[in-house]
Amino acid sequence: MKFALKKNVIRQISLAGMLGVVTLLHTLVGMGSHSAGHHDSGGLLTNILHITLAHLYIVPIILGAYWFGTRGGVLVSILSTALFTPHIFVWMDPVWSIYNYVEIFLFLLIGGMTGVLIEMEWSQRQRYEDALVRLDESHRKLKEQTEVLFQTEEQLRRADRLSALGELSAGMAHEIRNPLGSIKGAAEILKDDYGPDAPHQEFIEILLKETDRLNKIVQEFLGFARPKPPELREEDINELLESVLALTAQPIRKAGISIEKRLDHNIGKWDLDAGLLKQAFLNLVLNSIQAMPEGGTLTVMSARFEDRLEVRIVDTGMGITADDRKKLFSPFFTTKKDGTGLGLAITFRIIQNHRGTIDVASEPGKGAMFTITIPV
């Protein structure tokens, strides 16, 4: 604003200066013309120079119109006329009078027409700029809608995969669980038959341990294949986070990880399934712990907004590549040596069943941030 005002003042001073210079030169030449006579050759040349200088009034007139539009052009042309008119009656020969009146008319015509044309150009430019702004806005909205469409399409594809894999997993888990129970029962009988010092006792222990591990995997398959619908009760989401941190306190200490809590203690109680959300948060915290084998910082944040609850779990671990982020919540995708690839898929489904969303932001070597949003 101040810059525009300063620029206008400089332009006005420039116009006044040009009018003053042209008038001064015009006056001096006019005085020479009057003293030399009008009809000798020297006076004729002086008159021609006098008329030529009069044309210079057109320069500030055009600049006034260019800078200030019609009002500027008309005002400068009126000032030029006022400065030029005395020469008609004082110095100029009557022969030139008609020409001088035409000159005054041209001043006014040029000032007015140039101002009108400039304002038309301004108006056209403004329309182009408005159209460009609308085009940019339309492009932005189209881009946002395209991104939403891609996200929706990806969610639909993921839902189809989850449904198909869920049915397959349920059948496989059921078929595996029954013989697995029989194997475990037989191993326990063998354990009872052999004493603790028996040479095969070590192999029996391995058999029981691996059977329990397989049973845990089968349980994850069943939990993924047959998700329990949320049983909503009034719960404090901070209490769920505190409970998860208490459960994972030992592996956190063992890994040399420091905890930073930024919990909104005015978050209140909302309709949530405590068991399912605790499982989801536990999966995310364990995932963060495993991403920081050499230690780091685990930050847990909660906040309440007008229409949603938000939880963020941030680690300073190894980070996640862009390709892995695209497949992170897909079932059976894992980067861990002994992972099943179902933990984050189950977490995604739990949050989805709460009508929420889960997003991840990460760069390799710079940690990861999981953001859970639940509408309320």
pLDDT of 158: 65
pLDDT of 42: 47
357 falls within a domain? yes
pLDDT of 301: 95
The residue out of 73, 106, 135 marking a domain boundary is 135
Show the DSSP H helices in the chain as ranges: 2-36, 41-55, 58-90, 97-193, 201-225, 237-247, 249-254, 274-290, 322-327, 343-353
What are 374's strand-pairing partners? 309
As a whole number of angstroms, the distance between CA 312 and CA 292 comes to 17
pLDDT of 95: 53
pLDDT of 252: 92
Same domain, 163 and 272: no
309 falls within a domain? yes
Same domain, 53 and 69: yes
As a whole number of angstroms, the distance between CA 161 and CA 149 comes to 18
146 falls within a domain? no
DSSP assignments along 79-113, one per residue: HHHHHHHHHHHHTS-GGGHHHHHHHHHHHHHHHHH
The residue out of 225, 254, 278 marking a domain boundary is 225
| Residue 344 C-alpha from the chain's centroid | 27
pLDDT reading at 41 higher than 50: no
pLDDT of 39: 45
As a whole number of angstroms, the distance between CA 228 and CA 166 comes to 13
Burial class (CB in 10 A: 0-12, 13-18, 19+), 307: exposed
Q: How many CB atoms within 10 Å of residue 86?
A: 14
Range of 288's domain? 233-375
Percent of the chain with pLDDT over 90: 19
Which pTM value belongs to this model?
0.50
Same domain, 124 and 181: no
Ranked by mean pLDDT, the top range of 73-77, 238-242, 341-345 is: 238-242
pLDDT in tens, 94-121: 555 666 777 788 888 888 888 888 888 8
Q: How many domains does the chain have?
A: 3
Same domain, 116 and 201: no
Per the listing, tokens 């030449």 go with 29
369 falls within a domain? yes
DSSP state of 64: H
Q: Where residue 315 sits, what CATH number does that domain have?
A: 3.30.565.10
pLDDT in tens, 196-255: 777 777 777 888 888 887 777 777 666 665 666 788 899 999 999 999 999 899 899 999
Return the higher-pLDDT residue of 250 and 338. Answer: 250
- Across the range 276-291, mean pLDDT stands at 90
pLDDT in tens, 147-164: 888 877 776 776 666 666
Same domain, 214 and 86: no
pLDDT reading at 88 higher than 70: no
Contacts of 83 by beta carbon, 8 Å cutoff, 6+ apart: 19, 22, 23, 26, 57
Residue type, 352: Q
Residue 133's alpha-carbon distances to 56, 74, 126, in angstroms, are: 41, 33, 10
Same domain, 304 and 333: yes
pLDDT reading at 296 higher than 90: yes
The residue out of 201, 225, 249 marking a domain boundary is 225
**If DSSP codes are grouped into helix, strand and coil, which group holds residue 199?**
coil
140 falls within a domain? no
Same domain, 104 and 219: no
Banded pLDDT at 348 (limits 50, 70, 90): confident
CB 295 within 8 A of CB 255: yes
pLDDT in tens, 315-329: 999 888 888 887 777
| Residue 94 C-alpha from the chain's centroid | 74
29 falls within a domain? yes
Same domain, 238 and 324: yes
Banded pLDDT at 31 (limits 50, 70, 90): low
Same domain, 158 and 252: no
Q: Where residue 198 sits, what CATH number does that domain have?
A: 1.10.287
